[in-house]
Amino acid sequence: MATLPSTIVEPLLPDTETEVHPDVDLVARTRAGDNSAYEQLVKQYERQIFRTANHITQNREDAEDITQDVFFKAFQKLDQFKGDSKFSTWLVRIAVNESLMRLRKRKTSKTVSMDQDLQTDEGSIPRDFAEWRPNPEQIYSQSELGDILRKTIAGLPPGFRTVFTLRDIENLSTEETAEALKLSVPAVKSRLLRARLQLRERLSRYFRQKNEAPK
Amino acid sequence: MNCTDFLAKLTDFFDGNIEPDLMSEVTEHLGQCHHCEVVVDTTRKTIEVYRGTEVYDFPDDLSIRLRSAIMARCEKSMASPDGKKKLKT
């Protein structure tokens, strides 16, 4: 019997705290000229921004450049941050824009369209119904697991990969993801479903309860 | 509810956005359909594995190098009259 949704994946739902976030003070201090406050913000979010850019672009050098550009642009546009979203969400939005621009510059613009459904049925219908081993990630070393996860997500179309990254890895809400990608909420849900199912299908080769070697 | 109906609701199911009336149908379907149960369990695990694994290394030396480059750019921009004006607004 499957578990009920409240325990399915914790914490999938966005934080709904209404208290003033400590970042608001760091932003105010930066605006007042305290660069050490901004350095603190960079320290807090550089890993997240690097990860987001790396997931979307699938290129480490691009991710390093984007991380620098995101924090520099955010610093320059700090007066535009109104505090109606989390500072980290604002940074992630800038990172998504920068990452998608990089992808388009690679002359693969057809593959990074965010406003069209991809012409593929892959991921729409599950085909693999094998159960997985109880703790499949423990079968592999950290390095092997990293290779598997990188290879698997790299195989997704960029539009799906980006939605999965924002929703399931960076924990943005469906609405925040839709806003960041200029997509409708139903379009985000549709891409998220297909991204999750495609990843599941591909990971099953490595995690299933069979004595087969990974393909 | 059949498997196609269930799949159409899978994202809402994971997000806990299923209306109570529909939830009983979903639960009933999951109790009867082993394939959908496997899809739910393995999709949940897929998300957990990605969330729980640092897929891309971010070593300390990279962190220090990036932060130093970022702060140098920010400070340089502050040194220009235009940069100072921007932050005081």
Q: What ipTM goes with this model?
A: 0.87
pLDDT at A199: 96
Taking residues A161-173, what's their average pLDDT? Answer: 95
- Neighboring chain A residues of B71 at a CB cutoff of 8 Å: 35, 38-39, 42
pLDDT at A9 exceeding the cut of 50: no
Contact B66 A50 (CB under 8 A): yes
Residue with tokens 């921004």: A49
On whether the CB atoms of residues A51 and A95 are closer than 8 A, the answer is no
Q: Which is more confidently placed, A105 or A144?
A: A144
Q: Which residue of B has its CA nearest to A29?
A: B87
- Hey, is the C-beta of A54 within 8 angstroms of any chain B C-beta? yes
Taking residues B8-20, what's their average pLDDT? Answer: 90
Give the percent of chain A with pLDDT over 90. Answer: 67
Query: What average pLDDT does the structure give for chain B?
Result: 89
Give the A:B interface size as CB pairs under 8 Å: 167
- Hey, is the C-beta of B75 within 8 angstroms of any chain A C-beta? yes
- Neighboring chain B residues of A195 at a CB cutoff of 8 Å: none
On whether the CB atoms of residues A30 and A78 are closer than 8 A, the answer is yes
Q: Which residue of B has its CA nearest to A64?
A: B66
Q: Looking at chain B from residue 6 to 25, which residues have their Cβ under 8 Å from any Cβ of chain A? A: 7, 10-16, 18
What are the tens digits of pLDDT across the range A182-195?
A: 999 999 999 999 99
CA distance A163 to A122: 16
Domain boundaries of chain B, sorted by first residue:
3-51
- Hey, is the C-beta of B39 within 8 angstroms of any chain A C-beta? yes
- Neighboring chain B residues of A198 at a CB cutoff of 8 Å: none
pLDDT at A71: 98
Taking residues A1-17, what's their average pLDDT? Answer: 43
Q: Which residues contact A40 (CB under 8 A, 6 or more apart)?
A: A26
- Neighboring chain B residues of A189 at a CB cutoff of 8 Å: 11-12
Among B47, B86, B16, B42, which residue's Cα sits nearest to residue A167? Answer: B47
What are the tens digits of pLDDT across the range A145-162?
A: 999 999 999 999 999 999
Burial of A156 (0-12, 13-18, 19+ CB in 10 A): buried
On whether the CB atoms of residues B6 and B29 are closer than 8 A, the answer is yes
Contact A5 B55 (CB under 8 A): no
Taking residues A102-112, what's their average pLDDT? Answer: 69
User: What are the tokens at A160?
Assistant: 């799906």
pLDDT at A107 exceeding the cut of 80: no
pLDDT at B71 exceeding the cut of 80: yes
The DSSP code for B80 is S
Q: How many residues are there in chain A?
A: 215
Taking the CB of residue B70, how many other CB atoms lie within 10 A of it? Answer: 22
What is the sign of the dihedral through the CA atoms of B13, B16, B19 and B25? positive
Burial of A104 (0-12, 13-18, 19+ CB in 10 A): middle
User: What are the tokens at B60?
Assistant: 């300390």
What are the tens digits of pLDDT across the range B23-49?
A: 999 999 999 999 999 999 999 999 999
Confidence of residue A20 (pLDDT cuts 50, 70, 90): confident
Give the percent of chain B with pLDDT over 70. Answer: 90
CA distance A35 to B67: 12
CA distance A64 to A42: 13
Q: Which is more confidently placed, B87 or A79?
A: A79
CA distance A46 to A58: 17
3-state secondary structure of A143: helix
Residue with tokens 């914490």: A11
